[in-house]
């Protein structure tokens, strides 16, 4: 099977054939190896606890980030 890249807006898109049974809205982390091969690694969505931890971290350091943005 061969697929072809195409331009859509500012992005280059490669269609994943339905025969591969990839569900809609699946998250992937793209990368390219030294030979130009595109690698898509499936990414697990964050759970509620992980999201809460990120929000707590951001809240904790928000004053520092605000101070640094003005420099």
| 70 pLDDT above the threshold of 80 | no
Residue range 22-50, pLDDT digits in tens:
999 999 999 999 999 999 999 988 889 99
Strands 11-13 vs 28-32: parallel, antiparallel or unpaired? unpaired
pTM strictly above 0.75? no
pLDDT of 8: 96
Side-chain-facing half-sphere of 12: CA atoms under 13 Å: 5
Residue 39: inside a domain? no
Residue 13: inside a domain? no
| 15 pLDDT above the threshold of 80 | yes
Domain ranges, residue 58: 45-71
Token couple for 5 = 């890249």
Distance between CA 9 and CA 12 in Å, rounded?
8
For residues 51-61, one letter each, b for 16 or more C-beta atoms within 10 angstroms of the residue's C-beta and e for the rest, the string is eeeeeeeeeee
> How many distinct structural domains can be found in the chain?
1
Confidence of residue 68 (pLDDT cuts 50, 70, 90): confident
């Amino acid at each position: 099977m061969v697929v072809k890249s195409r331009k859509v807006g500012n992005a280059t898109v490669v269609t994943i054939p339905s025969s591969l049974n990839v569900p809609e809205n699946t998250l992937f982390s793209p990368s390219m190896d030294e030979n130009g091969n595109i690698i898509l690694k499936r990414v697990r969505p964050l759970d509620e606890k992980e999201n809460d931890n990120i929000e707590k971290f951001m809240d904790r350091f928000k004053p520092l980030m605000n101070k640094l943005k003005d420099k």
